[in-house]
């Protein structure tokens, strides 16, 4: 029998790390004067409203495991969104400041996930956020991969 980790182990650890992050909490209170809304999965027919921003959604993930694998791969996705309608104008430059805030929140989320288990670091991230279609909402998403080496006779854990 090969060793396996339920994908819900990752979801719970990511949930707890995000909920317990002082940096994320401080960011949300400083920028939006309200705490982060954290969702573990969502009802696609009734998604969170703009009033729920700033928000983070931890989506279910996937995994690759098996007796012939030399390493197991676990993937998960995190979405986030902020509301920022401020547009800065100076010297002919017009900037939607929400771009910077959305990226800052995304980077805080990534750093938080990366710190959970240094023995199994984040090995791959696909990261993007939207700046046009949803203004003044700035949604982002990252797909995260963590690789765990498999060693004969050991139980893997995260």
Dmax over CA atoms of the chain, in Å, equals 66
Kindly report, residue by residue over 67-115, the tens digit of the pLDDT: 777 888 999 999 999 999 999 999 999 999 999 999 999 999 999 999 9
CATH numeric code, 7-44+52-148: 3.30.70
Tokens describing residue 128 = 């993007």
Kindly report, residue by residue over 102-143, the tens digit of the pLDDT: 999 999 999 999 999 888 889 999 999 877 788 899 999 999
Q: What is the pTM of this model?
A: 0.90
CA dist., res. 82 & res. 86, Å (int): 12
CA dist., res. 74 & res. 119, Å (int): 14
**Residue ranges of domains in the chain:** 7-44+52-148
């Amino acid at each position: 029998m090969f060793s396996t980790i339920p994908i819900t182990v990752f979801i719970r650890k990511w949930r707890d790390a995000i909920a317990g992050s002082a940096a994320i909490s401080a960011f949300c209170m400083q920028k939006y004067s309200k705490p982060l809304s954290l969702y573990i999965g969502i009802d696609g027919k009734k998604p969170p409203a703009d009033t729920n921003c700033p928000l983070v959604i931890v989506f279910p993930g996937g995994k690759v495991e098996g007796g012939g694998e030399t390493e197991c791969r676990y993937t998960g996705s995190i979405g986030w969104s902020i509301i920022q309608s401020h547009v800065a104008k100076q010297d002919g430059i017009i900037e939607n400041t929400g771009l910077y805030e959305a990226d800052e929140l995304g980077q805080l989320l990534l750093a938080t996930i990366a710190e959970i288990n240094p023995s199994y670091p984040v090995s791959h991230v696909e990261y993007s956020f939207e700046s046009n279609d949803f203004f003044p909402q700035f949604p982002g998403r990252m797909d995260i991969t963590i690789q765990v080496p498999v060693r004969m006779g050991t139980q893997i854990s995260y």
